[in-house]
Amino acid sequence: MRKIKICFLIPSHWSGGKGGAELQANYILKYLEATGRFDVHYICRHYEKGLSPDSVHVLPKGLLSNYCHFNDRKQIFKYLEEIEPDFIYQRVRTSYIGIAAQYCSKKTAKLIFHVAHTNNVQPEKTQWGKNFVFDYIENSFKKMGLKHADYIVCQTEDQAKMLKRHFFRDCDLVMPNVSPDVGCKSDLNKSDVIKVLWVANIKPSKAPSDYIDIAESFSEYPNIEFHMVGKVNSEYGKKIEARAQLQDRMVFHGELEVEKVNELLAESSFFINTSGAEGFPNTFIQSWLNETPVLSLHVDPDSLLTKHELGMFCNGDIEVLKKTLQLWVDDKNIIEDMKSRCRDFALDYFSINNIQGIVNIIDESLASDAAKNAD
């Protein structure tokens, strides 16, 4: 039986991006490959290692690559013509979604778009500036692609509602992010020193400066230690790193592999998120699997954090976060029940089997096409 050809069209492969969207795409890719039913290909700009050269198609860097993604259109079409996919899986909403939609309109291929962030389902305004023309074309391709995608997968019910409100599209599947890792249940990893962890790429939208502010307010606590993990690839990141290294009770780790992050989480008592907006943070899942409650300043996707008592949502109030952390540090008994609840919830809600929902979409699409051809 011929395998189903599916092509992942994402700016970065997991080996070259290391972001949450790339990690989730990698989990999905491996799940599809493990079924033995799929011939998987990947088109991307950034790639280092991981898959065979035959299945990864790297886009060459052009003169306009730093300004836009639609510059890759010609080469993407060339690769797609060679691959002849049955389905295109697009994640990280750039002009690639519009390019994929254009290709599918001329072929029998179907486009599956997977929302990676809440901003993927919110309107974008083109701002006047030196990059106005590039931004206008980029945003036009994004809008067109979202309009013509055959199937749309959201991470949360909140995203599905935004999609309906802003783009008048129904979501075909709400699929929580997944994790094949089961974390560590043992309390032996939690030491007498209370470790607090923050993990994200070092950029303004993740608000690492807020985390350092929080750490500074606990400078007189001798039994608490703050850790930061994140990639530094800008001047902003270097300034944050320098400031973090000035703190007496803070350890700045830089970028770490997922396995190392899991080890730190297993040793940590609390995880703090200060991002202004997210899709669904993979770090929440990792934290809960490791029995580590989450203190989130701004985000609570689908209110899971609040409804299931998996930590504390602080509704944008940093003082509430500080007071909650202080309360938990002073009285560990408060969070004992929360720890096991975090793990039990994560094992169930973020099961790798959630990916079967995407397989079902593909199977139903193929069955529908076969029925039409039979008529």
- 146 vs 16, which has greater pLDDT? 146
Q: pLDDT tens, 92-129?
A: 889 999 999 999 999 999 999 999 999 899 888 877 77
Confidence check: pLDDT of 308 > 70: yes
pLDDT of residue 269: 92
The mean per-residue pLDDT over the stretch 144-148 comes to 94
Angle at which helices 96-106 and 73-83 pack, to 10 degrees? 40
Percent of the chain surpassing pLDDT 90: 69
How high is the pLDDT of residue 183? Answer: 65
- Residue 253 DSSP SS3: strand
- Residue 128 has what pLDDT? 79
**Per residue in 358-371, pLDDT tens?**
999 999 999 998 88
Q: Is 125 helix (H, G, I), strand (E, B) or coil?
A: coil
Strand arrangement of the beta sheet that strand 294-296 belongs to: 250-254, 224-229, 194-199, 270-273, 294-296, 311-313
User: Residues 124-136: pLDDT tens digits?
Assistant: 887 777 778 888 8
- Band (49; pLDDT cuts 50, 70, 90): low
Task: Render pLDDT for 158-194 as a digit per residue (tens, 0 to 9).
Answer: 999 999 999 999 999 999 999 887 666 555 455 578 9
Using the predicted structure, report yes or no on whether residue 272 has a pLDDT greater than 70. Answer: yes
222 token code pair = 């001798």
H helix runs in the chain, sequence order: 14-17, 20-35, 73-83, 96-106, 132-148, 157-167, 208-216, 235-245, 258-267, 282-289, 304-307, 318-330, 336-349, 356-374
Helices (H) and strands (E) in the chain, counts: 14, 13
What is residue 51's predicted lDDT score, i.e. its pLDDT? 53
pLDDT score recorded for residue 145: 93
Comparing 27 with 17, the larger pLDDT belongs to: 27
Predicted confidence (pLDDT) at residue 21 exceeds the cutoff of 70: yes
Tens digits of per-residue pLDDT, 32-48?
Answer: 999 999 999 999 988 88
- Tell which wins on pLDDT, 183 or 338: 338
- Residues 219-234 have pLDDT tens digits of 888 889 999 999 998 9
The predicted model gives 338-362 an average pLDDT of 94
Mean pLDDT of the chain: 90
pLDDT of 189: 52
pLDDT of 141: 92
pLDDT given for residue 290 in this prediction: 93
CB count in 10 Å sphere of residue 280: 26
- What average pLDDT does this structure show over 326-354? 89
**Mean pLDDT along residues 66-81:** 90
Judge if pTM exceeds 0.75: yes
d(CA 347, CA 89): 26
Pick from 6-15, 262-271, 308-317, 326-335: least confident: 326-335
What's the pLDDT at 311?
Answer: 95
Strand pairing report for 224-229 and 311-313:
unpaired
SS3 label, residue 229: strand
Confidence of residue 53 (pLDDT cuts 50, 70, 90): low
The pLDDT > 70 percentage for the chain reads: 96
pLDDT at 188: 46
